Amino acid sequence: MKKIIPPVLFVICIAIMVGLRLVFPRMQFLTLPIDLIGILPFILGLGIAKHGSDIFEKTGTNIETFNDPDILVTDGLYQMSRNPMYLGFLIALLGVAIILGNFLSLVVVIGFFIVTDRWYIQFEEAAMSKKFGEQYAAYKLKTRRWL
């Protein structure tokens, strides 16, 4: 699993959600046109993830999960969340679950949250603590992990 980067996990989750919708069509909790409300969180989530990525690109820091961090980014969205890209992916997946309107899709969203929170973020926070020490500890005290 270590080689599965978060954007790939995001796409895998969408594929699983679509598959669950096709295999279990009777597990619907929303139908047309109400399920189209999910377009809003999907677009919002992708926008948040992209903006978080753009901030990394602008500062010239490494975006790869399994590479060492270069710069501690605390500006923009990173003032409100230590993980806006993951937050964006989570919001977008919730949007997909609403669009698909399938209860089982919500399980996938929860699974993404758990894997991201307990595996990716734990890995990244250990690397950040090791590299940036007290500076990162102070950032963690004033900025929440998710929101």
- 33: cis peptide before it, omega within 30°? yes
Average pLDDT over residues 54-80: 95
Mean pLDDT of 31-56: 95
Say how many residues make up the chain: 147
- Between CA 146 and CA 6 the distance in angstroms is 15
Does any domain span residue 90?
yes
Backbone angles phi, psi at 30, to 5 degrees: -135, 150
pTM exceeding the 0.85 threshold for the entire prediction: yes
Query: Total structural domains in the chain?
Result: 1
Residue 21 resides in a domain: no
Whether 22 is covered by a domain: the verdict is: no
Q: Is residue 31 part of a domain?
A: no
CA distance 16 to 12: 6
Q: For residue 134, tell me if it sits in a domain.
A: yes
Residue 1 has pLDDT above 70, yes or no: no
> Using CA of residue 27, residue 30, residue 31, residue 36, what is the dihedral sign?
negative
Mean per-residue pLDDT of the chain: 95
The full 3-state SS of the chain, as one line of letters, equals: CCCCCHHHHHHHHHHHHHHHHHHCCCCECCCCCHHHHHHHHHHHHHHHHHHHHHHHHHHCCCCCCCCCCCCCCCCHHHHCCCCHHHHHHHHHHHHHHHHHCEHHHHHHHHHHHHHHHHHHHHHHHHHHHHHHHHHHHHHHHHCCCCC
Give per-residue pLDDT as tens, 68-81: 999 999 999 999 99
Residue 2: what pLDDT? 57
Find the range with the poorest average confidence among 26-40, 55-69, 74-88: 26-40
Maximum separation of any 2 CA atoms in the chain, in Å: 52
For residue 91, give both structure tokens. 């919001």
**Structural domain includes residue 12:** no
Inside any domain, residue 2 = no
Residues 82-109 pLDDT 10s = 999 999 999 999 999 999 999 999 999 9
Higher-scoring residue by pLDDT: 30, 84: 84
pLDDT exceeds 90 at position 32: no
Flag whether 105 is in a domain: yes
* pLDDT range class, residue 28, cuts 50, 70, 90: confident
Please tell me the predicted confidence (pLDDT) of residue 29: 84
> What's the pLDDT score for residue 31?
82
* pLDDT > 90: percent of the chain: 89
Residue 79 lies in domain: 46-147
